Amino acid sequence: MDKDTKILIVASFAFMICNVLFFVLGQTLEKQGFGIVDQQFAWSQARTSEIFETWKPVMDSVYLFMLVDMVYPLTYAMILIVLHRKLGEGKFAIVGIRSAVVASVCDYLENVLTFAMLLSGFIGIIPFFVGLFATIKFLGILSSIVLLVYRKLVSDGKQSIE
């Protein structure tokens, strides 16, 4: 078994564990009225304050969710990077890999800013940047996946795309 396959297996296993934990912890948050995506795209101090206020009774679950979310970006980035590498080199591979890296970096920035708001109580303009990083993250993941699917479809058709 080559190194990339081992990385893919470990990252996929960690990815699945994170998703199970997200599902369980996310249910707790949503029962309070807001899910994590509501917070990621709150965009304003007032909306973020409202969400954090409703989460106060389940703040332990919020912190645990955020801790799991510190592992998650590494898992999806490694999966996407390895899959792009397995399909070969070229400009689409480079763009797909860079998109995955940018997405995971934005995810970490989003998480750090969210932790900063939760721990300090200061919100200010931070929700705008959380929303901006979340948007870039989702676009990065989506573009990497679309390129991966495109590359796979074209490689199965034995056509050159690069």
For residue 38, the one-letter residue type is: D
**pLDDT reading at 17 higher than 80:** yes
pLDDT exceeding 70 applies to what percent of the chain?
96
Amino acid 154: pLDDT: 87
Amino acid 156: pLDDT: 74
**pLDDT digit string, tens, across residues 21-34:** 999 999 999 999 99
Residue 158: pLDDT band with limits 50, 70, 90: low
**pLDDT digit string, tens, across residues 44-78:** 999 999 999 999 999 999 999 999 999 999 999 99
Residue 138, φ and ψ in degrees, nearest 5 = -65, -40
**pLDDT digit string, tens, across residues 91-130:** 999 999 999 999 999 999 999 999 999 999 899 999 999 9
CA dihedral 99, 100, 103, 105 (to 10 degrees): -110
| Helix, strand, or coil (residue 70) | coil
Q: Which residues contact 13 (CB under 8 A, 6 or more apart)?
A: none
Residue 56, φ and ψ in degrees, nearest 5 = -50, -45
CA distance 148 to 107: 20
pTM: 0.92
CA distance 63 to 115: 8
